[in-house]
Structure 1
């Protein structure tokens, strides 16, 4: 199959261009984008394209960029199409935003393209990415241990299309020579100081000695990798990413779990995990007891019982807190971000109160009633219903309260005895019954 047939085949297979669309070419003056421009113009009427234009961003990184910008305008004039150009000082932006030059270059380039799309009402951005680029990308990410990158890029992603998807670099060069297509060669493409160029000029040729059809093999593998990725992404797309923890007993498949953790952490704290860290998290999940792994931005991911949750590392220990409250008062508990209301109740329904976690009541006959709400202290003991006194720590373990949260759980006390682990468990002290006349209740309410 020749170059033109492969070009049209890719457009047809992936529905890259629809009738009457306006196509903006991400033009670099190199052989790839120059051949892409030639092919789109040649088949403009056949594909029923409404308009084609060039967009060139001068990064001001190379002295040749000025010549390339002029060349872009000359090509556009030659074919009677529009050319959009812009100059951006990438180095200055990278320094200011503390990003790599490569990252800023990509961001500014596509920002420029999308500005044109919006302002000039173009439909799609066509790039010169081809089959050899795909094989290089997959190989590069494989070497660096990045599973996400191994699947390569797709022929169509949102408004970006890649009509040269089936063509190798060699085919593109030969076609440019045959059709006498003018282009500018970027000499930095031959410097093996860059990782991608090292893969392109040294590693890929060695791989092709073993498998001459390496690029086509990469194309097929990319198809299946993307197929798998799309399937698993759909499995987690309905998960509520605003939750404070992940229930491990609800997710059995590791393939879904690690993707979910990755997405959840990114949404919660903006941290993108490496695959090495993700592997550490899966190992952590499979161990017993309380475990934690540091991820980024001073955050730890903690596994306790069947839950995973995030915790920010703090330099200081939790400040001890203690409040005094009386009946018919309200108090804001900042540790829980809730309001605690204290009131007397004349006719309590014992059945309704049995499983109530947000409200508890006590039968306390005392003239001057005063309660304290405080943090736990060393030596604290708690008396559950139907049981003898137990260490508070043991009760909290039974309740599966994570260790690093226990100092922040408010305790309701009376005469220094714990009546209620607020929001968790009531003690059997001062129980109420059908004959109780001095019932005092405590109810948690949302702010």
Structure 2
């Protein structure tokens, strides 16, 4: 195994040579063997151990073992203790998910602070098969069946082509000591059930299972590359704009393909959507219909679909009170400038001139509210703000983020759109107030 590992380091993992490496080590046979393999190739590395404090004295014994191993290998070691159960309670997640998040967040923070080039984990071929089966049993798309990536940004898994049996045999032949995690023998978690009950049966049916599986993974990754290329081509044609309002897609481009549902799934699966039939129905829905996930919203707007972050589309309740003494006020959309002038000069959508004496200070800056009306400049009657914004052909995001300036309960200005006729300058005006948004 040592020679095979050396060939990998001189071959596909050549980029690790002469680099500063951080090995995530639990004390189990996989990560301990990885540390010894790197040591014998004289790679530059340190160890990083997470104590999740889930197995009482056993967890502490693991920590002591890793510290002793670092002394034996004459490398630096970092140890971080976590209150994993408290993290589970506060984040409402499983123990496994908590440990994963805590582990990778800390490793990335450590690597960033101390300038490590790569983080090495000891995932191997059996882990890859188990992950495939987990995703398969839970339901997934093509990407969920392509296995654990060998390299994912600065995460490298140099043992991914080796089996658990090969790693164990190497450790025993080299008289390498390691720690056994008692929780691995249980059946509480799905991975353990697959490891102890399903995978052995599959291997008994086909002793070459891992080799066949690796070939399958390679074929699936090749297929994934083709799918990605096709998706990129459709996305390039469909996306018309990307801005603070979200990403806008032309519906016609989805209707041109043979299987719109498949493209919609691949395009939007990363945003937490689950109601795929409803998303397909958006293609022919009326304007204003939408589908939401926990984090995003997909809205039908005329001939477009607009993907937006829910945190951006939630209406703010922020309100700013402005006194007659204020000359400049900072708002979420820029600066409001107030200036008394003698005459009207330049006009633009971001500047209005009104009769100051018609204002009742303090005036209010806020988002418009459902049911509100105003009298657009030049009109004799009132109009609902919602109808005005619809006639302006604004996108749902633009409608949601339209601000108004109010005096008492009366709208003075739909900012950037239209002033209210009731506050306009007349022959009787004695004080002209210029209001600009910059």
TM-score range relative to shorter protein = 0.5 to 0.7
What is the alpha-carbon distance in structure 1 between the residues aligned to residue 251 and residue 128 of structure 2? Answer: 37
- Aligned pair partner of 2:358 in 339, 345, 370: 370
In structure 1, the residue matched to 2:257 is none
Q: Alpha carbons of 1:445 and 1:136: their partners in 2 closer, same or farther (altered >3 Å)?
A: farther
Q: CA deviation at 1:403?
A: 7.5
What is the alpha-carbon distance in structure 2 between the residues aligned to residue 379 and residue 115 of structure 1? Answer: 49
How many residue pairs get matched?
A: 407
In structure 2, the residue matched to 1:189 is 184
Cα shift readout 1:280-337 (whole Å, capped 9, x = no counterpart): 556546522212344338x8665444445543379x9x99x99999xxx979797976
Matched, 1:126 2:120: yes
Secondary structure, in 3 states, of the residue corresponding to 2:247?
Answer: strand
- Aligned pair partner of 1:400 in 393, 396, 407: 393
In structure 2, the residue matched to 1:244 is 245
Conserved? CA contact 1:91–1:101, under 8 Å: yes
- Aligned pair partner of 2:40 in 36, 39, 42: 42
Q: Alpha carbons of 1:249 and 1:441: their partners in 2 closer, same or farther (altered >3 Å)?
A: farther
Conserved? CA contact 1:24–1:52, under 8 Å: yes
In structure 1, the residue matched to 2:349 is 357
Q: CA deviation at 1:34?
A: 3.0
In structure 1, the residue matched to 2:81 is 88
What is the alpha-carbon distance in structure 1 between the residues aligned to residue 95 and residue 281 of structure 2? Answer: 35
Secondary structure, in 3 states, of the residue corresponding to 2:336?
Answer: strand
Matched, 1:291 2:279: no
What is the alpha-carbon distance in structure 1 between the residues aligned to residue 98 and residue 372 of structure 2? Answer: 57
- Aligned pair partner of 2:159 in 148, 152, 164: 164
- Aligned pair partner of 1:105 in 95, 99, 103: 99
What is the alpha-carbon distance in structure 1 between the residues aligned to residue 196 and residue 223 of structure 2? Answer: 26
What is the alpha-carbon distance in structure 2 between the residues aligned to residue 102 and residue 379 of structure 1? Answer: 50
Secondary structure, in 3 states, of the residue corresponding to 1:9?
Answer: helix
What is the alpha-carbon distance in structure 2 between the residues aligned to residue 8 and residue 27 of structure 1? Answer: 23
In structure 2, the residue matched to 1:445 is 436
What is the alpha-carbon distance in structure 1 between the residues aligned to residue 152 and residue 252 of structure 2? Answer: 30
Matched, 1:139 2:133: yes
In structure 2, the residue matched to 1:267 is none
What is the alpha-carbon distance in structure 2 between the residues aligned to residue 406 and residue 183 of structure 1? Answer: 59
What is the alpha-carbon distance in structure 1 between the residues aligned to residue 413 and residue 340 of structure 2? Answer: 16
Q: CA deviation at 1:118?
A: 7.0
Q: CA deviation at 1:164?
A: 1.0
Mapping of residues 321-400 of structure 1, within 5 Å: 339=336, 356-359=348-351, 370=358, 392=384, 394-400=387-393
Moved more, 400-409 or 166-175: 400-409
In structure 1, the residue matched to 2:27 is 29
Q: Alpha carbons of 1:389 and 1:12: their partners in 2 closer, same or farther (altered >3 Å)?
A: same
Conserved? CA contact 1:300–1:312, under 8 Å: no
Q: CA deviation at 1:276?
A: 1.3
Q: CA deviation at 1:18?
A: 1.6
Bigger-Rg structure (1/2): 1
Conserved? CA contact 2:146–2:220, under 8 Å: yes
Moved more, 395-404 or 225-234: 225-234
Structure 1: runs of 5+ lacking an equivalent: 264-272
Q: CA deviation at 1:3?
A: 7.0
Cα shift readout 1:40-73 (whole Å, capped 9, x = no counterpart): 23333xxxx3x44544333332243344344435
Structure 2: runs of 5+ lacking an equivalent: 255-259
What is the alpha-carbon distance in structure 1 between the residues aligned to residue 269 and residue 132 of structure 2? Answer: 21
Matched, 1:199 2:194: yes
What is the alpha-carbon distance in structure 2 between the residues aligned to residue 89 and residue 324 of structure 1? Answer: 51
Q: Alpha carbons of 1:343 and 1:151: their partners in 2 closer, same or farther (altered >3 Å)?
A: farther
What is the alpha-carbon distance in structure 1 between the residues aligned to residue 370 and residue 45 of structure 2? Answer: 74
Q: Alpha carbons of 1:419 and 1:26: their partners in 2 closer, same or farther (altered >3 Å)?
A: closer
Q: Alpha carbons of 1:239 and 1:176: their partners in 2 closer, same or farther (altered >3 Å)?
A: farther
What is the alpha-carbon distance in structure 2 between the residues aligned to residue 222 and residue 341 of structure 1? Answer: 61
What is the alpha-carbon distance in structure 2 between the residues aligned to residue 64 and residue 300 of structure 1? Answer: 46
Q: CA deviation at 1:75?
A: 4.3
In structure 1, the residue matched to 2:54 is 61
